[in-house]
Structure 1
């Protein structure tokens, strides 16, 4: 016995008897089982709508178009984010300059970390702290930054971006920006390190943390450049891959007694401000129509 056709069945290559062509369709595809099935089951659009004609209703609904590559998530894209970073940076810098009461937080954290390190007496944690600290060195983070710019340029060239070459100078300029942000501040504040020894004539000081700033900007900008040609999952993976060493370097420096906590916090704020600004700047433009491959 013949069963009734299911309303969600896909049309076959040969339309069944009685099927009528859809009006207004470029492909003139036949309508299965009458005009009642011309609308899709959720959005009210014709089924099998070509991609160029599909408009997302809302970012949180099924079928919505994803955000443009390189954009920050909604929470991080709000103007309050850089405002908070600037306020924290100014507050910490002011307290370091005047030797204010907020610096007691540094001493409390250092004392707590030293007691925890002594109680655990874990060689593994000590090695991990030093290993994470080394990820913030210029010999590690800067090559990753430059390699990320080169890979991003190659991917954008293959994708047909008009200004595919821009990730390379952005990576180079970022590598040069890091010492310009950190070294003058170190020389100006001239803050002694956790051991309290006076600075030598050739020392710059500990505030802000150079390793933390190098890790935050090196890995962060590399990930940001690569997100231009990555999908949603790829963007999330790149964000996690950049955040892990940036946070790990800061915590490793505090754990190993190389830096005060506020040195690290200041560099996180500096790096966050640069990344927020860079993420809102159209680095590479859109793929040019001349080289863009048509979608099927």
Structure 2
């Protein structure tokens, strides 16, 4: 009697995507909140030094004197932080993401673009009163005045380019494309920051303070991106 052959197995059903661990979103939230708390603490420290004319300002001025060298390239980099450039770019990305979300039937497709626009509108509402309150004078190459801390151009670049990046990331399937977009965002923000300091438009601490201020402002969009990534990983695809 011949040995019994195993019955042919039917085609296996497609393997559903592996969902992220339930605690991953909570862990991300804790990390985000920790980083935001650290940013707020450092911003408060720098602001206190500006108001009290503390020793940190001496270090800041020495670094500025070593870096300042006005040239055409530094001015072009600084101009990337102008509202006339950064804000229209964010508006175009917001319109594109809204169209994609509406076309694909994504839930609450309007919320991330709206949040990005609200963040952009908050920049002058936050930066201008801080400038008037601190009243820090400009670098030696700038006209006298007291409205240089924190840097408005840096904040504009960080919020506009950072928000545009966070809006586009969920629509990029390739990890390489997402990495390229994040790198481009970092290069733009750092380029604007370097140009402002190199050109003598701002002290280095003015720029650093804007970085620290914009991190917590971008938190809602960052959490929104994380949440959308988690939802998409649980959605079966053909």
Q: CA RMSD in A?
A: 2.9
Which ranges of structure 1 fall in alignment gaps of 5 or more residues? 1-17, 23-27, 30-47, 59-67, 118-124
Tell me the secondary structure at the aligned position of residue 132 of structure 2. Answer: helix
CA positional deviation for 1:171:
2.9
**1:50 to 2:14 alignment:** yes
Distance 1:19 1:214, change over 3 A: same
**1:81 to 2:35 alignment:** yes
CA deviations on 1:12-37 (whole Å, 9 max, x unpaired) are xxxxxx67332xxxxx22xxxxxxxx
Q: 2:7 corresponds to which residue?
A: 20
Find the aligned partners of 2:19 and 2:93 in 1 and give their Cα distance.
32
Q: 2:215 corresponds to which residue?
A: 272
Tell me the secondary structure at the aligned position of residue 20 of structure 1. Answer: coil
Find the aligned partners of 1:215 and 1:268 in 2 and give their Cα distance.
10
CA positional deviation for 1:228:
2.0
Higher helix content, 1 or 2: 2
Which ranges of structure 2 fall in alignment gaps of 5 or more residues? none
Tell me the secondary structure at the aligned position of residue 280 of structure 1. Answer: helix
Contact 1:77/1:276 (8 A) holds in 2: no
Find the aligned partners of 1:19 and 1:143 in 2 and give their Cα distance.
66
- Choose the corresponding residue for 1:243, options 173, 183, 186: 186
Distance 1:92 1:180, change over 3 A: same
Contact 2:116/2:221 (8 A) holds in 1: no
Moved more, 262-271 or 224-233: 224-233
Find the aligned partners of 1:78 and 1:170 in 2 and give their Cα distance.
18
Q: 1:186 corresponds to which residue?
A: 131
CA positional deviation for 1:147:
1.1
Higher relative contact order (CA 8 A, sep 6+): 2
Normalised to the residue count of structure 1, the TM-score between the two structures is 0.67
- Choose the corresponding residue for 1:213, options 126, 131, 155: 155
Q: 2:80 corresponds to which residue?
A: 135
Find the aligned partners of 1:193 and 1:262 in 2 and give their Cα distance.
12
**1:225 to 2:188 alignment:** no
Q: 1:105 corresponds to which residue?
A: 59
**1:234 to 2:177 alignment:** yes
CA positional deviation for 1:281:
3.7
Distance 1:185 1:82, change over 3 A: same
- Over alpha carbons, which structure has the higher Rg? 1
Find the aligned partners of 1:161 and 1:139 in 2 and give their Cα distance.
31
Aligned length: 225
Distance 1:160 1:233, change over 3 A: farther
Distance 1:283 1:76, change over 3 A: closer
